[in-house]
Structure 1
Amino acid sequence: MGLGLHVLGRWRQENVQPELLERWFRRHCGSALLEARILDGDDESTLFVSIHPAAEDVEVMVSNDGRVVVSAKTSTVGPGYHQYLASLLHRLGNDQGIDWAAPGENEGTGDETGYFETGDRGALEREMLAWLRRLANALLEHLADSSVSNLQVGMAVGHSYACEGAIMTPLGPRSREWIQRVSSDPTQGIDLFPWWPEGLGANYYLGMALVRMWTDIRWRPPVSESETATLRETLGWLEAARQFDSQLEYPMAEWREIASALGERVTLPVPDGTPPAAIGYRRRPTWVAITEGWSIQIPGEFAEAWDDGTWTAWDDTAGIWFSSYAFEGAGRPCMEVLDDALTNAPALRSEIIERQSEHLAGRAGVGPANAHSSTWFLTGVLAHSAGFSICTIEFEGPARKAWAVEIWQSIRWVDST
C-alpha cells in the first residue's frame, strides 16, 4: 500500500553500461545521494540508489537490450521527494538519451499521482493526502482488533521498538487520536511526511536528521567508524537546515547530545522550557528479526553487524553472538533436536539454565571465563523441530548475570514456512 513511480524507458545508445548511470546519479545528486550500488545479472543489471533515510532504494533496472525500468516508493517520504525524483529522471532521460514511455503505453507502469507526466504539484499533494486518508482508515480497522499493537508505518523491516503510541513512523510514534483526526482530515497528518515542501531546503534537511534520530542513532559515543559518520552527517543536516531557516523548531537537546557523543561543543540557543531529549526509538529495548524465524530483544543502544554468517550486537560493555542452523525436514521433538545440538555446541559452563515451551527447548550455561576473570559468558542452545541456535553473551559479571539471562530468555522462534 503506497504511492510511487514505476516508469519504463528505452536507452537510445547500443552499448548499455549501468556504470554510466551510477556516475550520472553521483554527479547530479551530489550530497543528496546517500548510497549507490550495482547488482549485475545475466541479462540485466540493477542500480540501487538511496536518497532519503525514510525511503526504500530507488531501483533502476537496465537490460542488455537497452530497456530501463525505474521503480520507487515515495509515499513514505512525501511529495517533495516524489517531485525531486520525477525531475531527476527527466534530466536523466535528457542527458543519457532515454525515452520514457507515455502514460498508459505499458500496463502497470507510470506515475500513480500523474506528476511525472503533468508536473502538477497540486494534484500530487491531493493524491498523497488521499493515500494518507486510506492509510488512516486501514489502520483504524487493524486497531479495532485488541490484539494488534505497535504497528509500523513506513519503517524498515527487521526491527521493532518499545514505544507509547498506536503506530510507529520514521518521525516518531502516533496515537490512535492522531489517526482518527487524519481519517477525518488528512491535512492533519502532513507531519507524517519528512519531505513535504519542494526542494532541498530547511524542511528537507531537518526531516533527514529527524528520521536518523528516531531510527538509527544509538545515543551514546560511537563504537565504529560508520556510527561516527552517521552522527557527523546528522549534525551536518541540522546545521544546513538552520542556515536555511533558523526559525523552525529544532530538537535542541538531542542536537547537543549528538555533539557530546562526538566530543564536540556546539553553541546553540536553548530557549527556556526546552524539553529534555526524547527522540529516538533506540533509547528503549529493540526487537531484532535475525534470520529463519529467530528474533531477540537487545538494548537499543547496541550496534549490529553480520560477520561470516554470525549476527553480532555490542557496545563498549558487552557483546552478543548468534548463529542458527536448519535441518532437512521437520517434525522431530524439540528435546531430541536439543540433545543433538548440544553434542556440537561449545561446552556449557557449570551453572545451567533450562528453557521449555511448546515450540522450543533450550539449555544455557553461565559463568566466568576462568576462576580469576571478571569477564563472564553465557552460552545457550535453543532447539525447535527443524533446527537450533547458539547464542553467546559476553559481559562483566556477576552483577549483570540476570541481564544476560534475560536477553537469552527473550529469544523467540516462529515457524515462517
Structure 2
Amino acid sequence: MGLGFSIKGKVNGTTDSESILQIIADYTEAESKGIFATFLEIDLEEDTLYLSFHPCEEPVSLFFEEGILFCSAKTNSVGPGYHAYLIEFFEKAGKDLSIDWVWNETTDDESFGDETGYQENKDFPALQECMAEWLQMLSTIFLKDDQKGYLVSLPANTPRVAHKDFFVASSLGFWTRNWFEELQNKDLTELEKYGKQFFIWWDKEPDARFLVRTGVALLNADCGWHAPLDDDEMMLYEIIDKCFEEAKKLNPDVIVPEKDWEYIKAYLEGEEDVEIPESPLGFRKNAVTYDIAGDWKITVPGFFYSGLDEETEVFWFGDKTVRNTVYSFDSETTPEEMLASLLSEEDYPSAEKILYDDGKIKGHGYVYYYINAEEEAEYWLLQGVKVEEGSFIFTTICFASLDEKDWAVEVWNSITH
C-alpha cells in the first residue's frame, strides 16, 4: 500500500548477471554526490542488488533474469522529492549504461511503470498532488473505525512507544485523529499543506528543510540513544550529524534540534555515557514495546540494545540483560499442564516465587541470587515462564542489585501475547 515504480530493461552488452549488477553498483557509487554519497548503502546478495539511496526508505532492488533487468522502488516514506530524484537517476543510468528501460507496459500477469506518472509527464506539482492523494487515501482507511496506533512509513521492526496513546506515528512524529479528519475532508487544491507537513522531502530540491527533516526522522525512528554499538550505529550517528551540518551550510537560519544534535556529536567525538537530552524527539527515549517471536510482545527501556542469540531475543544495557526464547507445543496439551511442567518449585528452593495471571496468560517465575563460578560473576536473576494456548515464552532477566528487582518484575509482567 505504497507508491513507487517498477521497471524492466534490456541491457546491451554483457549478459552475466553478476557483472551487470556490479556495474550498476559501481555506477551508483560514482554518481552519488554530496549528502547522497553519505546516505548510499550498497548490498549485493547473490542475484539481487540492493541500493539504499535514503536511510528512511526501503532499498531499491534490482535483479537480472533471462536477459532482463528488473528494478523496483518504494518512495512514499520519503516523499515526492525522493521519487523525482530516483526517476531521474535511473533515466540517466539507462542512457549511460545502455539499458533500454520499459517505463509503461501492462500485461495480464504484470505491470511496469511509474505509479505516479512523473516519469512520463515530469510535472512535479502533479507528483506532489499524487503523494498527497495517497496520504488522503490512508486517512479514509484509518478513520473507518475506532482503531488507533497505526505506524506509517516506518521500518517493519520499529518498536512502538509504550504507554502512549496515539492515532498515527510516522518517522516525523505523532499525528492526531483530528489531523487526519481535516485531511480527509480537503479537496485537491488544499492538500499541499498536509503533504508538506507529513513528508520528509516535499519539494524538488534537496534543501535545508529536507536535510533537517531527514535528521529528525532518524532521531525519532532509528536512534537508540546509547553509545554506538557497531559500525552501523556509528554510521547512523554520522548521517544525522551530516544532515544538520549540511542544512546549516545551506541556510544558517534553519532551525535544528540543538540538544539532540549535541548528543550525537558528543559520541562522535569520543565521549562516553552522554546524558540523553530532554526533548520531544526520539521514540526510544521512552519505554518501547517490541514484537518478538510467536506473537509475543515485551516492553523494555527504548535505549536498550537489542539482538538475536540464535533463537533467543536479547535486550541489554549496562548490567541488565533480558533474554526471551519462545517455544510451541501441541494442542493436546493444555496451557495449565504445560505450565505445571516448567520451572518446578523444587528446583528453586531458596528463591522468591512470583506469579502471573491475566485471565488469558498464566505464568510463574523465581527471583534469586546467582553465583556463576565458571565466569566468576555474581548477580540477581529472574527466571520465568508464561504460557498461552500452543505457546510459551521462557525469560531470564539479569540485574546487579536487589534494588532493581521491581524493575525486573515490571519487565516480566509486560510480556503479553
**TM-score between the two structures when normalised by the length of structure 1:** 0.86
Question: Could you tell me how far 1:340 is from its partner in structure 2?
Answer: 4.0
DSSP-derived class of the 1:292 partner: helix
DSSP-derived class of the 1:217 partner: coil
Instruction: State which of 189, 204, 228 in structure 2 corresponds to 1:198.
Output: 204
Instruction: State which of 375, 398, 410 in structure 1 corresponds to 2:379.
Output: 375
Q: Deviations over 1:184-239 (max 9, x none)?
A: 23222121111112243323322221111111113344444543332232112210
Instruction: State which of 288, 298, 301 in structure 1 corresponds to 2:300.
Output: 298
Instruction: State which of 219, 229, 235 in structure 1 corresponds to 2:235.
Output: 229
Write the distance in 2 (CA, Å) between the matches of 1:410 and 1:130.
39
> Are 1:287 and 2:284 an aligned pair?
no
DSSP-derived class of the 2:234 partner: helix
Instruction: State which of 40, 51, 64 in structure 2 corresponds to 1:49.
Output: 51
- Paired residues of 2:7 and 2:103 also in contact (CA < 8 A): no
2:274 alignment counterpart: none
- Paired residues of 2:211 and 2:246 also in contact (CA < 8 A): yes
Q: Deviations over 1:144-186 (max 9, x none)?
A: x1xx222211122232113454211110011222223322232
Instruction: State which of 185, 193, 196 in structure 2 corresponds to 1:188.
Output: 193
1:269 alignment counterpart: none
- Paired residues of 2:79 and 2:200 also in contact (CA < 8 A): yes
Instruction: State which of 406, 410, 414 in structure 2 corresponds to 1:402.
Output: 406
DSSP-derived class of the 2:104 partner: coil
Instruction: State which of 138, 141, 158 in structure 2 corresponds to 1:138.
Output: 141
User: Larger deviation: 397-406 or 253-262?
Assistant: 253-262
2:70 alignment counterpart: 69
Kindly tell me: are residues 177 and 105 of structure 1, through their superposed partners in 2, closer, same or farther at Cα, counting changes over 3 Å?
closer
> Are 1:123 and 2:126 an aligned pair?
yes
Q: Deviations over 1:378-414 (max 9, x none)?
A: 111223332322211111221110111111111122x
Question: Could you tell me how far 1:25 is from its partner in structure 2?
Answer: 2.4
> Are 1:95 and 2:101 an aligned pair?
no
Question: Could you tell me how far 1:83 is from its partner in structure 2?
Answer: 0.6
DSSP-derived class of the 1:325 partner: strand
Kindly tell me: are residues 375 and 84 of structure 1, through their superposed partners in 2, closer, same or farther at Cα, counting changes over 3 Å?
same
CA RMSD across the alignment: 2.6
Question: Could you tell me how far 1:48 is from its partner in structure 2?
Answer: 1.9
DSSP-derived class of the 1:320 partner: strand
Alignment of 1:200-279 (within 5 A): 200-262=206-268, 277-279=279-281
Identity %: 27
Kindly tell me: are residues 60 and 227 of structure 1, through their superposed partners in 2, closer, same or farther at Cα, counting changes over 3 Å?
same
- Paired residues of 2:76 and 2:131 also in contact (CA < 8 A): yes
1:160 alignment counterpart: 160
DSSP-derived class of the 2:236 partner: helix
DSSP-derived class of the 1:412 partner: coil
Question: 1:95 corresponds to which letter in structure 2?
Answer: D
- Paired residues of 1:254 and 1:278 also in contact (CA < 8 A): no
Write the distance in 1 (CA, Å) between the matches of 2:191 and 2:398.
49
2:315 alignment counterpart: 313
- Paired residues of 1:80 and 1:196 also in contact (CA < 8 A): yes
Write the distance in 1 (CA, Å) between the matches of 2:106 and 2:148.
42
Structure 1 unpaired stretches of 5+: 266-274
Question: 1:290 corresponds to which letter in structure 2?
Answer: I
Write the distance in 2 (CA, Å) between the matches of 1:349 and 1:173.
47
Write the distance in 1 (CA, Å) between the matches of 2:61 and 2:12.
20
Kindly tell me: are residues 51 and 132 of structure 1, through their superposed partners in 2, closer, same or farther at Cα, counting changes over 3 Å?
same
Question: Could you tell me how far 1:7 is from its partner in structure 2?
Answer: 1.4
- Paired residues of 1:113 and 1:124 also in contact (CA < 8 A): yes
- Paired residues of 1:341 and 1:388 also in contact (CA < 8 A): no
Q: Deviations over 1:69-91 (max 9, x none)?
A: 22212112100110111111112
User: Larger deviation: 17-26 or 106-115?
Assistant: 17-26
DSSP-derived class of the 2:354 partner: strand
Question: Could you tell me how far 1:358 is from its partner in structure 2?
Answer: 4.7
DSSP-derived class of the 2:32 partner: helix
Write the distance in 1 (CA, Å) between the matches of 2:291 and 2:350.
27
Write the distance in 1 (CA, Å) between the matches of 2:354 and 2:40.
45
> Are 1:3 and 2:6 an aligned pair?
no
Kindly tell me: are residues 373 and 38 of structure 1, through their superposed partners in 2, closer, same or farther at Cα, counting changes over 3 Å?
closer
Q: Deviations over 1:31-69 (max 9, x none)?
A: 1544222332xxxx2222222232122221221x12222
1:330 alignment counterpart: 331
> Are 1:79 and 2:80 an aligned pair?
yes
Q: Deviations over 1:299-333 (max 9, x none)?
A: 11111112222211112241111222234x43521
**TM-score between the two structures when normalised by the length of structure 2:** 0.86
- Paired residues of 1:337 and 1:384 also in contact (CA < 8 A): no
Question: Could you tell me how far 1:242 is from its partner in structure 2?
Answer: 1.0
Question: Could you tell me how far 1:102 is from its partner in structure 2?
Answer: 4.2
- Paired residues of 1:348 and 1:365 also in contact (CA < 8 A): no
- Paired residue total: 392
Kindly tell me: are residues 331 and 280 of structure 1, through their superposed partners in 2, closer, same or farther at Cα, counting changes over 3 Å?
farther
- Paired residues of 1:348 and 1:366 also in contact (CA < 8 A): no
Write the distance in 2 (CA, Å) between the matches of 1:237 and 1:125.
23
Structure 2 unpaired stretches of 5+: 272-276
Question: 2:312 corresponds to which letter in structure 1?
Answer: T
Kindly tell me: are residues 9 and 314 of structure 1, through their superposed partners in 2, closer, same or farther at Cα, counting changes over 3 Å?
same
Question: 1:124 corresponds to which letter in structure 2?
Answer: L
Write the distance in 2 (CA, Å) between the matches of 1:237 and 1:28.
19
DSSP-derived class of the 1:377 partner: strand
